[in-house]
Structure 1
Amino acid sequence: MKRLAIFLYGVGSYAVFFATFLYAIAFVGNCPLLPRTLDGAPQLPTLQALTIDILLLAAFAVQHSLMARPVFKRWWLGLVPEAAERSTYVLFSSLALILLFSYWQPIGGVLWAVENSVGRGLFYAAFAFGWLLVLYSTFLINHFDLFGLRQVWLQLLGKPYTVLPFKTPALYRIVRHPLYVGWFFAFWATPEMSMTHVLFALMITVYILSAIQLEERDLCEVHPEYEAYRREVPMLIPGFNRRRRAQADDEAAA
Protein backbone atom coordinates (compact mmCIF):
# COMPACT_ATOMS: atom_id res chain seq x y z
CA MET A 1 0.00 0.00 0.00
CA LYS A 2 2.84 2.42 0.84
CA ARG A 3 4.51 1.73 -2.49
CA LEU A 4 1.28 2.43 -4.34
CA ALA A 5 0.70 5.63 -2.36
CA ILE A 6 4.19 6.91 -3.20
CA PHE A 7 3.68 6.00 -6.86
CA LEU A 8 0.35 7.84 -7.02
CA TYR A 9 1.95 10.81 -5.25
CA GLY A 10 4.69 10.89 -7.90
CA VAL A 11 2.18 10.67 -10.74
CA GLY A 12 0.08 13.41 -9.14
CA SER A 13 3.11 15.65 -8.71
CA TYR A 14 4.02 15.13 -12.36
CA ALA A 15 0.46 15.96 -13.43
CA VAL A 16 0.65 19.24 -11.48
CA PHE A 17 4.01 19.99 -13.12
CA PHE A 18 2.77 19.32 -16.65
CA ALA A 19 -0.36 21.42 -16.16
CA THR A 20 1.85 24.21 -14.76
CA PHE A 21 4.21 23.90 -17.74
CA LEU A 22 1.33 24.30 -20.20
CA TYR A 23 -0.07 27.20 -18.18
CA ALA A 24 3.36 28.85 -18.19
CA ILE A 25 3.39 28.84 -22.00
CA ALA A 26 0.02 30.61 -22.04
CA PHE A 27 1.04 32.98 -19.22
CA VAL A 28 4.30 34.13 -20.84
CA GLY A 29 2.63 34.17 -24.28
CA ASN A 30 -0.16 36.43 -22.94
CA CYS A 31 -3.04 34.15 -23.84
CA PRO A 32 -6.22 36.28 -23.62
CA LEU A 33 -8.14 33.37 -22.08
CA LEU A 34 -6.17 33.56 -18.83
CA PRO A 35 -7.32 35.76 -15.93
CA ARG A 36 -3.77 37.11 -15.49
CA THR A 37 -0.80 37.15 -17.90
CA LEU A 38 2.79 38.37 -17.90
CA ASP A 39 2.09 41.58 -19.84
CA GLY A 40 -1.45 42.35 -18.72
CA ALA A 41 -2.79 45.77 -17.78
CA PRO A 42 -1.24 47.28 -14.61
CA GLN A 43 -3.48 47.10 -11.54
CA LEU A 44 -1.19 48.58 -8.87
CA PRO A 45 1.21 51.54 -8.56
CA THR A 46 4.52 50.77 -10.27
CA LEU A 47 6.68 50.55 -7.14
CA GLN A 48 4.22 48.27 -5.37
CA ALA A 49 3.86 46.03 -8.42
CA LEU A 50 7.63 45.92 -8.90
CA THR A 51 8.19 44.90 -5.29
CA ILE A 52 5.63 42.08 -5.49
CA ASP A 53 7.11 40.75 -8.74
CA ILE A 54 10.68 40.75 -7.40
CA LEU A 55 9.56 38.92 -4.25
CA LEU A 56 7.69 36.31 -6.31
CA LEU A 57 10.69 35.69 -8.55
CA ALA A 58 13.02 35.57 -5.55
CA ALA A 59 10.76 33.04 -3.80
CA PHE A 60 10.87 30.77 -6.84
CA ALA A 61 14.64 31.12 -7.20
CA VAL A 62 15.29 30.31 -3.53
CA GLN A 63 12.97 27.30 -3.56
CA HIS A 64 14.29 25.98 -6.85
CA SER A 65 17.96 26.25 -5.88
CA LEU A 66 17.78 25.44 -2.17
CA MET A 67 15.83 22.21 -2.59
CA ALA A 68 18.25 21.05 -5.32
CA ARG A 69 21.33 21.28 -3.12
CA PRO A 70 22.77 17.99 -1.78
CA VAL A 71 22.92 19.33 1.80
CA PHE A 72 19.21 20.15 1.75
CA LYS A 73 18.39 16.80 0.14
CA ARG A 74 20.16 14.91 2.91
CA TRP A 75 18.13 16.78 5.52
CA TRP A 76 14.92 16.50 3.49
CA LEU A 77 15.25 12.72 3.24
CA GLY A 78 14.61 12.55 6.96
CA LEU A 79 11.11 13.86 6.27
CA VAL A 80 10.10 12.32 2.94
CA PRO A 81 10.68 8.85 1.43
CA GLU A 82 13.73 8.72 -0.82
CA ALA A 83 11.64 7.58 -3.80
CA ALA A 84 9.39 10.63 -3.41
CA GLU A 85 12.18 13.21 -2.96
CA ARG A 86 12.34 14.24 -6.62
CA SER A 87 8.56 14.28 -6.98
CA THR A 88 8.34 16.54 -3.94
CA TYR A 89 10.88 18.91 -5.48
CA VAL A 90 8.89 18.96 -8.71
CA LEU A 91 5.66 19.62 -6.80
CA PHE A 92 7.11 22.47 -4.74
CA SER A 93 8.61 24.06 -7.87
CA SER A 94 5.22 23.89 -9.55
CA LEU A 95 3.52 25.44 -6.51
CA ALA A 96 6.08 28.27 -6.50
CA LEU A 97 5.23 28.97 -10.14
CA ILE A 98 1.50 28.81 -9.46
CA LEU A 99 2.02 31.39 -6.71
CA LEU A 100 3.86 33.59 -9.21
CA PHE A 101 1.14 33.22 -11.85
CA SER A 102 -1.57 34.04 -9.30
CA TYR A 103 -0.07 37.22 -7.87
CA TRP A 104 2.08 38.60 -10.72
CA GLN A 105 1.62 42.34 -11.24
CA PRO A 106 2.25 43.93 -14.67
CA ILE A 107 3.97 47.31 -14.52
CA GLY A 108 3.32 48.57 -18.05
CA GLY A 109 5.68 50.39 -20.42
CA VAL A 110 6.92 49.12 -23.78
CA LEU A 111 10.55 48.63 -24.81
CA TRP A 112 9.79 47.43 -28.34
CA ALA A 113 6.74 46.48 -30.39
CA VAL A 114 6.97 44.77 -33.78
CA GLU A 115 4.01 45.55 -36.02
CA ASN A 116 5.23 43.83 -39.19
CA SER A 117 3.45 40.48 -39.63
CA VAL A 118 6.61 38.71 -40.78
CA GLY A 119 8.59 40.04 -37.83
CA ARG A 120 5.86 39.03 -35.40
CA GLY A 121 5.73 35.59 -36.96
CA LEU A 122 9.48 35.16 -36.48
CA PHE A 123 9.25 36.15 -32.83
CA TYR A 124 6.38 33.72 -32.22
CA ALA A 125 8.33 30.98 -34.03
CA ALA A 126 11.33 31.61 -31.76
CA PHE A 127 9.00 31.56 -28.75
CA ALA A 128 7.55 28.18 -29.77
CA PHE A 129 11.04 26.87 -30.57
CA GLY A 130 12.18 27.73 -27.05
CA TRP A 131 9.41 25.78 -25.33
CA LEU A 132 9.86 22.80 -27.64
CA LEU A 133 13.62 22.86 -27.04
CA VAL A 134 13.04 22.83 -23.27
CA LEU A 135 10.79 19.78 -23.51
CA TYR A 136 13.01 17.98 -26.02
CA SER A 137 16.11 18.55 -23.89
CA THR A 138 14.46 16.88 -20.89
CA PHE A 139 13.82 13.73 -22.93
CA LEU A 140 17.45 13.63 -24.05
CA ILE A 141 18.59 13.28 -20.44
CA ASN A 142 15.65 11.07 -19.31
CA HIS A 143 12.51 13.12 -18.80
CA PHE A 144 11.00 10.60 -16.39
CA ASP A 145 13.98 10.57 -14.03
CA LEU A 146 14.21 14.36 -14.09
CA PHE A 147 10.61 14.71 -12.93
CA GLY A 148 10.53 11.85 -10.44
CA LEU A 149 8.45 9.27 -12.32
CA ARG A 150 11.30 6.78 -12.73
CA GLN A 151 12.00 6.88 -9.01
CA VAL A 152 8.43 6.13 -7.92
CA TRP A 153 8.01 3.48 -10.64
CA LEU A 154 11.12 1.59 -9.51
CA GLN A 155 10.01 1.63 -5.87
CA LEU A 156 6.56 0.38 -6.93
CA LEU A 157 8.31 -2.59 -8.55
CA GLY A 158 10.51 -3.07 -5.49
CA LYS A 159 13.68 -2.29 -7.44
CA PRO A 160 16.51 -0.07 -6.10
CA TYR A 161 17.06 3.31 -7.68
CA THR A 162 20.31 3.71 -9.63
CA VAL A 163 21.87 7.01 -10.64
CA LEU A 164 21.83 7.44 -14.38
CA PRO A 165 25.26 7.32 -16.06
CA PHE A 166 26.70 10.54 -17.41
CA LYS A 167 25.83 10.92 -21.10
CA THR A 168 26.03 13.68 -23.70
CA PRO A 169 23.34 12.87 -26.28
CA ALA A 170 22.61 14.97 -29.38
CA LEU A 171 22.39 18.66 -28.42
CA TYR A 172 24.44 18.07 -25.27
CA ARG A 173 27.46 17.60 -27.51
CA ILE A 174 26.95 21.13 -28.85
CA VAL A 175 26.22 23.01 -25.61
CA ARG A 176 26.16 21.83 -22.00
CA HIS A 177 22.74 23.31 -21.24
CA PRO A 178 20.38 23.21 -24.24
CA LEU A 179 17.45 23.22 -21.81
CA TYR A 180 18.47 26.65 -20.53
CA VAL A 181 19.00 27.88 -24.08
CA GLY A 182 15.37 26.92 -24.65
CA TRP A 183 14.30 28.98 -21.63
CA PHE A 184 16.12 32.02 -23.00
CA PHE A 185 14.25 31.75 -26.30
CA ALA A 186 10.95 31.21 -24.49
CA PHE A 187 11.35 34.25 -22.24
CA TRP A 188 13.05 36.76 -24.56
CA ALA A 189 11.31 36.04 -27.88
CA THR A 190 8.28 38.31 -27.96
CA PRO A 191 7.08 40.82 -30.55
CA GLU A 192 5.98 43.18 -27.75
CA MET A 193 8.60 43.59 -25.06
CA SER A 194 7.06 45.39 -22.10
CA MET A 195 9.02 46.58 -19.08
CA THR A 196 7.26 43.82 -17.13
CA HIS A 197 8.55 41.25 -19.60
CA VAL A 198 12.06 42.68 -19.40
CA LEU A 199 11.99 42.41 -15.60
CA PHE A 200 10.79 38.81 -15.76
CA ALA A 201 13.22 37.70 -18.49
CA LEU A 202 16.20 39.54 -16.99
CA MET A 203 15.74 38.19 -13.48
CA ILE A 204 15.21 34.65 -14.76
CA THR A 205 18.34 34.99 -16.92
CA VAL A 206 20.44 36.14 -13.95
CA TYR A 207 19.05 33.29 -11.89
CA ILE A 208 19.80 30.68 -14.58
CA LEU A 209 23.38 31.88 -15.04
CA SER A 210 23.90 31.72 -11.27
CA ALA A 211 22.17 28.33 -10.93
CA ILE A 212 24.39 26.83 -13.64
CA GLN A 213 27.45 27.42 -11.47
CA LEU A 214 25.90 25.56 -8.53
CA GLU A 215 24.51 22.80 -10.73
CA GLU A 216 27.83 22.17 -12.45
CA ARG A 217 29.67 22.05 -9.13
CA ASP A 218 27.27 19.34 -7.97
CA LEU A 219 27.61 17.47 -11.27
CA CYS A 220 31.41 17.44 -10.96
CA GLU A 221 31.07 15.78 -7.54
CA VAL A 222 28.67 13.09 -8.79
CA HIS A 223 30.29 12.61 -12.21
CA PRO A 224 34.07 13.34 -12.18
CA GLU A 225 34.11 13.13 -16.00
CA TYR A 226 31.96 16.27 -16.12
CA GLU A 227 35.03 18.44 -15.56
CA ALA A 228 36.55 17.37 -18.90
CA TYR A 229 33.15 17.78 -20.56
CA ARG A 230 32.92 21.32 -19.21
CA ARG A 231 36.30 22.20 -20.69
CA GLU A 232 35.40 20.83 -24.12
CA VAL A 233 31.76 21.86 -24.62
CA PRO A 234 30.52 25.45 -24.33
CA MET A 235 27.93 26.32 -21.73
CA LEU A 236 25.28 28.02 -23.86
CA ILE A 237 26.75 29.36 -27.12
CA PRO A 238 27.86 26.77 -29.72
CA GLY A 239 31.55 27.03 -30.61
CA PHE A 240 32.31 29.52 -27.83
CA ASN A 241 34.89 27.29 -26.13
CA ARG A 242 36.74 26.71 -29.39
CA ARG A 243 36.88 30.42 -30.16
CA ARG A 244 38.11 31.13 -26.65
CA ARG A 245 40.79 28.43 -26.88
CA ALA A 246 41.89 29.70 -30.29
CA GLN A 247 42.15 33.24 -28.91
CA ALA A 248 44.18 31.98 -25.93
CA ASP A 249 46.49 30.06 -28.27
CA ASP A 250 46.99 33.17 -30.41
CA GLU A 251 47.79 35.26 -27.35
CA ALA A 252 50.23 32.62 -26.08
CA ALA A 253 51.95 32.44 -29.48
CA ALA A 254 52.29 36.23 -29.60
Structure 2
Amino acid sequence: MRLLISGSWVRAPRWAESFYRVFCLCFLSDSVAWSVALRDGVVLKAVAVDVLLLVLFSLQHSLLARTPVKRVCQNVFGVLSRSVYCFTTAVALQILMHYWQPVTSAPCLWSVRNAPWDIWFPLICFILHFLCWAIICSILLIFDYPELLGIKQVYYECLGLGDPLLLKSERAQRLYAHLRHPVCVELLTVLWLLPTFPLDRLLLAVYLSVYLILAHSLDTQDCTYLRRQLRSKLQLFSAPLEGKTLFACINCKCKM
Protein backbone atom coordinates (compact mmCIF):
# COMPACT_ATOMS: atom_id res chain seq x y z
CA MET A 1 0.00 0.00 0.00
CA ARG A 2 2.84 2.38 0.88
CA LEU A 3 4.42 1.55 -2.44
CA LEU A 4 1.33 2.73 -4.33
CA ILE A 5 0.78 5.88 -2.23
CA SER A 6 4.36 7.08 -2.46
CA GLY A 7 4.38 6.78 -6.21
CA SER A 8 7.42 4.48 -6.20
CA TRP A 9 5.33 1.84 -7.96
CA VAL A 10 6.67 3.36 -11.18
CA ARG A 11 10.04 1.76 -10.43
CA ALA A 12 8.47 -1.64 -9.67
CA PRO A 13 8.36 -2.80 -13.33
CA ARG A 14 12.16 -2.48 -13.41
CA TRP A 15 12.43 -5.18 -10.77
CA ALA A 16 9.91 -7.28 -12.65
CA GLU A 17 11.79 -6.77 -15.90
CA SER A 18 15.09 -7.74 -14.28
CA PHE A 19 13.57 -10.86 -12.76
CA TYR A 20 12.03 -11.80 -16.11
CA ARG A 21 15.37 -11.40 -17.89
CA VAL A 22 17.14 -13.61 -15.34
CA PHE A 23 14.36 -16.20 -15.60
CA CYS A 24 14.57 -16.24 -19.39
CA LEU A 25 18.36 -16.47 -19.30
CA CYS A 26 18.37 -19.43 -16.89
CA PHE A 27 15.22 -21.27 -17.88
CA LEU A 28 13.81 -20.18 -21.25
CA SER A 29 16.80 -20.44 -23.55
CA ASP A 30 15.34 -22.46 -26.42
CA SER A 31 15.86 -21.12 -29.91
CA VAL A 32 12.74 -22.73 -31.44
CA ALA A 33 9.61 -20.60 -31.16
CA TRP A 34 6.37 -22.13 -29.90
CA SER A 35 4.50 -20.87 -32.94
CA VAL A 36 6.86 -22.85 -35.17
CA ALA A 37 6.94 -25.97 -33.00
CA LEU A 38 3.16 -26.25 -32.71
CA ARG A 39 2.87 -26.35 -36.51
CA ASP A 40 5.43 -29.14 -36.79
CA GLY A 41 3.84 -32.43 -37.83
CA VAL A 42 6.29 -34.49 -35.77
CA VAL A 43 5.39 -32.56 -32.61
CA LEU A 44 1.65 -32.81 -33.23
CA LYS A 45 1.89 -36.55 -33.90
CA ALA A 46 3.84 -37.15 -30.69
CA VAL A 47 1.36 -35.07 -28.67
CA ALA A 48 -1.58 -36.95 -30.20
CA VAL A 49 -0.05 -40.33 -29.33
CA ASP A 50 0.69 -39.22 -25.76
CA VAL A 51 -2.84 -37.89 -25.26
CA LEU A 52 -4.27 -41.15 -26.57
CA LEU A 53 -2.12 -43.16 -24.15
CA LEU A 54 -3.20 -41.01 -21.21
CA VAL A 55 -6.85 -41.33 -22.14
CA LEU A 56 -6.55 -45.11 -22.42
CA PHE A 57 -4.90 -45.32 -19.00
CA SER A 58 -7.51 -43.12 -17.35
CA LEU A 59 -10.35 -45.07 -18.97
CA GLN A 60 -8.96 -48.35 -17.68
CA HIS A 61 -8.31 -46.95 -14.22
CA SER A 62 -11.72 -45.29 -13.91
CA LEU A 63 -14.14 -47.52 -15.79
CA LEU A 64 -13.02 -50.71 -14.05
CA ALA A 65 -13.53 -48.94 -10.72
CA ARG A 66 -17.21 -48.17 -11.45
CA THR A 67 -19.73 -50.11 -9.41
CA PRO A 68 -21.52 -51.82 -12.37
CA VAL A 69 -18.21 -52.92 -13.89
CA LYS A 70 -16.95 -54.11 -10.51
CA ARG A 71 -20.07 -56.24 -10.11
CA VAL A 72 -19.49 -57.85 -13.50
CA CYS A 73 -15.84 -58.52 -12.65
CA GLN A 74 -16.88 -59.95 -9.30
CA ASN A 75 -19.28 -62.34 -10.99
CA VAL A 76 -16.70 -63.40 -13.58
CA PHE A 77 -13.44 -63.49 -11.59
CA GLY A 78 -14.77 -63.83 -8.05
CA VAL A 79 -12.11 -63.32 -5.42
CA LEU A 80 -9.55 -62.51 -8.13
CA SER A 81 -11.41 -59.38 -9.29
CA ARG A 82 -9.15 -57.00 -7.36
CA SER A 83 -6.02 -58.76 -8.61
CA VAL A 84 -7.33 -58.52 -12.17
CA TYR A 85 -7.89 -54.79 -11.73
CA CYS A 86 -4.33 -54.28 -10.46
CA PHE A 87 -2.94 -56.46 -13.26
CA THR A 88 -4.76 -54.47 -15.96
CA THR A 89 -3.55 -51.25 -14.34
CA ALA A 90 0.04 -52.50 -14.51
CA VAL A 91 -0.45 -53.47 -18.17
CA ALA A 92 -1.89 -50.02 -18.95
CA LEU A 93 1.09 -48.36 -17.26
CA GLN A 94 3.55 -50.52 -19.20
CA ILE A 95 1.83 -49.60 -22.47
CA LEU A 96 1.90 -45.93 -21.48
CA MET A 97 5.63 -45.99 -20.71
CA HIS A 98 6.62 -48.16 -23.68
CA TYR A 99 4.80 -46.16 -26.36
CA TRP A 100 5.25 -42.70 -24.84
CA GLN A 101 6.61 -40.22 -27.42
CA PRO A 102 9.14 -37.65 -26.15
CA VAL A 103 8.73 -34.26 -27.78
CA THR A 104 12.24 -33.11 -28.66
CA SER A 105 11.40 -30.71 -31.50
CA ALA A 106 9.46 -28.28 -29.29
CA PRO A 107 10.96 -25.81 -26.81
CA CYS A 108 11.03 -26.68 -23.13
CA LEU A 109 8.78 -24.82 -20.75
CA TRP A 110 11.91 -24.31 -18.68
CA SER A 111 15.43 -25.71 -18.74
CA VAL A 112 18.10 -24.89 -16.17
CA ARG A 113 21.32 -24.48 -18.12
CA ASN A 114 23.30 -21.63 -16.60
CA ALA A 115 25.58 -21.67 -13.57
CA PRO A 116 25.18 -22.04 -10.68
CA TRP A 117 21.61 -23.28 -11.04
CA ASP A 118 22.56 -25.99 -13.55
CA ILE A 119 24.14 -27.81 -10.58
CA TRP A 120 22.02 -26.74 -7.63
CA PHE A 121 18.56 -27.02 -9.12
CA PRO A 122 18.93 -30.67 -10.30
CA LEU A 123 20.34 -31.50 -6.86
CA ILE A 124 17.35 -29.86 -5.16
CA CYS A 125 15.00 -31.77 -7.46
CA PHE A 126 16.76 -35.05 -6.66
CA ILE A 127 16.52 -34.49 -2.90
CA LEU A 128 12.83 -33.56 -3.06
CA HIS A 129 12.06 -36.50 -5.36
CA PHE A 130 13.82 -38.85 -2.94
CA LEU A 131 11.80 -37.47 -0.02
CA CYS A 132 8.55 -37.75 -1.97
CA TRP A 133 9.19 -41.38 -2.90
CA ALA A 134 10.15 -42.11 0.71
CA ILE A 135 6.82 -40.66 1.84
CA ILE A 136 4.98 -42.68 -0.80
CA CYS A 137 6.64 -45.86 0.46
CA SER A 138 5.83 -44.90 4.06
CA ILE A 139 2.14 -45.02 3.16
CA LEU A 140 2.63 -48.78 3.60
CA LEU A 141 2.56 -48.05 7.34
CA ILE A 142 -1.01 -46.77 7.05
CA PHE A 143 -2.73 -48.52 4.16
CA ASP A 144 -3.28 -52.24 3.76
CA TYR A 145 -1.42 -52.82 0.51
CA PRO A 146 -1.93 -56.62 0.39
CA GLU A 147 -5.67 -55.90 0.33
CA LEU A 148 -5.21 -53.10 -2.19
CA LEU A 149 -3.33 -55.41 -4.57
CA GLY A 150 -5.84 -58.24 -4.18
CA ILE A 151 -3.46 -60.64 -2.42
CA LYS A 152 -5.30 -60.58 0.88
CA GLN A 153 -8.63 -61.42 -0.75
CA VAL A 154 -7.25 -64.70 -2.09
CA TYR A 155 -5.58 -65.54 1.23
CA TYR A 156 -8.73 -64.83 3.23
CA GLU A 157 -10.84 -66.82 0.78
CA CYS A 158 -8.60 -69.84 1.26
CA LEU A 159 -9.02 -69.51 5.04
CA GLY A 160 -12.76 -68.94 4.79
CA LEU A 161 -12.58 -65.48 6.39
CA GLY A 162 -14.54 -63.60 3.72
CA ASP A 163 -13.77 -60.18 2.24
CA PRO A 164 -10.98 -58.46 4.26
CA LEU A 165 -12.39 -55.02 3.47
CA LEU A 166 -15.65 -55.86 5.27
CA LEU A 167 -13.66 -56.76 8.39
CA LYS A 168 -12.26 -53.23 8.64
CA SER A 169 -13.85 -50.43 10.63
CA GLU A 170 -16.52 -48.20 9.11
CA ARG A 171 -14.11 -45.25 9.09
CA ALA A 172 -11.53 -47.31 7.19
CA GLN A 173 -14.13 -48.41 4.64
CA ARG A 174 -15.21 -44.78 4.28
CA LEU A 175 -11.63 -43.68 3.68
CA TYR A 176 -11.02 -46.43 1.13
CA ALA A 177 -14.18 -45.40 -0.72
CA HIS A 178 -12.90 -41.82 -1.00
CA LEU A 179 -9.27 -42.49 -1.82
CA ARG A 180 -7.44 -45.76 -2.38
CA HIS A 181 -3.88 -44.45 -2.62
CA PRO A 182 -3.22 -41.09 -0.88
CA VAL A 183 -0.09 -39.89 -2.67
CA CYS A 184 -1.45 -36.77 -4.37
CA VAL A 185 0.93 -34.09 -3.04
CA GLU A 186 4.01 -36.26 -3.44
CA LEU A 187 3.08 -37.35 -6.96
CA LEU A 188 2.34 -33.77 -7.98
CA THR A 189 5.78 -32.75 -6.74
CA VAL A 190 7.43 -35.53 -8.72
CA LEU A 191 5.46 -34.59 -11.82
CA TRP A 192 6.16 -30.86 -11.79
CA LEU A 193 9.56 -30.39 -10.15
CA LEU A 194 12.18 -31.07 -12.83
CA PRO A 195 15.26 -29.16 -14.04
CA THR A 196 14.09 -29.60 -17.64
CA PHE A 197 10.40 -29.49 -18.48
CA PRO A 198 9.64 -30.47 -22.10
CA LEU A 199 6.24 -30.35 -23.77
CA ASP A 200 5.45 -34.04 -23.28
CA ARG A 201 6.21 -33.74 -19.56
CA LEU A 202 3.90 -30.73 -19.36
CA LEU A 203 1.17 -32.79 -20.99
CA LEU A 204 1.73 -35.67 -18.55
CA ALA A 205 1.82 -33.37 -15.50
CA VAL A 206 -1.30 -31.41 -16.43
CA TYR A 207 -3.34 -34.50 -17.31
CA LEU A 208 -2.42 -36.52 -14.23
CA SER A 209 -2.78 -33.48 -11.95
CA VAL A 210 -6.34 -32.89 -13.13
CA TYR A 211 -7.06 -36.62 -12.87
CA LEU A 212 -5.77 -36.78 -9.29
CA ILE A 213 -7.73 -33.70 -8.23
CA LEU A 214 -10.97 -35.04 -9.70
CA ALA A 215 -10.45 -38.62 -8.50
CA HIS A 216 -10.43 -38.17 -4.72
CA SER A 217 -12.96 -36.73 -2.28
CA LEU A 218 -11.19 -36.67 1.07
CA ASP A 219 -12.73 -34.64 3.91
CA THR A 220 -11.73 -33.63 7.43
CA GLN A 221 -12.96 -36.90 8.94
CA ASP A 222 -10.71 -38.90 6.62
CA CYS A 223 -7.70 -36.71 7.44
CA THR A 224 -8.34 -37.05 11.17
CA TYR A 225 -8.58 -40.82 10.82
CA LEU A 226 -5.32 -40.93 8.86
CA ARG A 227 -3.49 -38.92 11.51
CA ARG A 228 -4.70 -41.25 14.26
CA GLN A 229 -3.69 -44.33 12.30
CA LEU A 230 -0.24 -42.95 11.58
CA ARG A 231 0.26 -42.12 15.26
CA SER A 232 -0.78 -45.62 16.32
CA LYS A 233 1.47 -47.28 13.73
CA LEU A 234 4.46 -45.22 14.83
CA GLN A 235 3.81 -46.27 18.41
CA LEU A 236 3.57 -49.88 17.25
CA PHE A 237 7.05 -49.78 15.69
CA SER A 238 8.69 -47.70 18.42
CA ALA A 239 7.50 -49.48 21.58
CA PRO A 240 8.63 -53.03 22.56
CA LEU A 241 5.66 -55.37 22.48
CA GLU A 242 5.19 -58.79 24.03
CA GLY A 243 2.44 -61.35 24.49
CA LYS A 244 -1.15 -60.10 24.49
CA THR A 245 -0.18 -56.52 23.72
CA LEU A 246 1.46 -57.56 20.46
CA PHE A 247 -1.51 -59.76 19.57
CA ALA A 248 -3.93 -56.90 20.24
CA CYS A 249 -1.93 -54.50 18.07
CA ILE A 250 -1.83 -56.99 15.20
CA ASN A 251 -5.60 -57.42 15.41
CA CYS A 252 -6.03 -53.66 15.43
CA LYS A 253 -3.83 -53.38 12.35
CA CYS A 254 -5.82 -56.02 10.50
CA LYS A 255 -9.10 -54.22 11.22
CA MET A 256 -7.76 -50.82 10.24
Corresponding position of 1:159 = 161
Question: Closer, same or farther in 2 for the Cα pair 1:155/1:99, shift >3 Å?
Answer: same
One-letter code aligned to 1:114: V
Q: Does 1:229 align with 2:227?
A: no
Alignment match of 2:124 (pick from 110, 122, 127): 122
Identical aligned residues as a percent: 27
Give the structure with the larger helix fraction: 2
- Pair 1:209–1:56, CA change in 2 (3 A): same
RMSD over aligned CA atoms reads 2.7
Count of aligned pairs between the two proteins: 172
- Does 1:107 pair with 2:103? yes
> How far apart are the structure 1 equivalents of 2:136 and 2:60?
20
Q: Measure how far apart 1:128 and its partner are.
A: 2.1
- The 1-side partners of 2:223 and 2:128 are apart by 29
Structure 2 counterpart of 1:191, which letter?
P
Q: CA deviation at 1:162?
A: 3.1
Question: Equivalent residue for 2:87?
Answer: 91
Amino acid at match of 2:213: L
Task: Answer yes or no: is 1:54 the counterpart of 2:45.
Answer: no
**1:124–1:189 Cα contact (<8 Å) kept:** no
- C-alpha separation between the residues in 2 aligned to 1:154 and 1:104? 38
Is the Cα–Cα contact under 8 Å of residues 107 and 196 in structure 1 kept in the other structure? Answer: yes
Q: Deviations over 1:54-93 (max 9, x none)?
A: 0100010111011112221112112112x21111110000
Structure 2 gap ranges (5+): 1-40, 173-178, 226-256
- Counterparts of 2:153 and 2:187 in 1: how far apart (Å)? 26
Paired with 1:145 and 1:190, the residues of 2 have a C-alpha distance of 33
Give 2:70's aligned residue: 73
Structure 2 counterpart of 1:165, one-letter code: S
Q: Separation in 2 of the partners of 1:100 and 1:228?
A: 34
- Whether 2:226 is the aligned partner of 1:188: answer no
Aligned to 2:148: 146
> Structure 1: which 5+ runs fail to align?
1-43, 169-174, 217-226, 234-254
Q: Secondary structure at the match of 1:182?
A: helix
Q: Tell me the TM-score normalised to structure 2 length.
A: 0.60
Structure 2 distance, partners of 1:177, 1:93, is: 14
1:131 deviates by 2.3
Any conservation in 1 of the 2:83–2:150 contact (CA below 8 Å)?
Answer: yes
- Are the aligned partners of 2:156 and 2:164 in contact in 1 as well (CA < 8 Å)? no
CA distance in 2, matches of 1:68, 1:135: 23
Deviation at 1:211, TM superposition (A): 1.2
| Contact preservation (8 Å) 1:111, 1:194 | yes
Whether the aligned pair in 2 keeps the contact of 1:114 and 1:191 (CA below 8 Å) is yes
Tell me, what secondary structure is at the counterpart of 2:102? coil
The question of whether the paired residues in 2 share the 8 Å contact of 1:64 and 1:93 is answered with: yes
Taking structure 1 as the reference length, the TM-score comes to 0.60
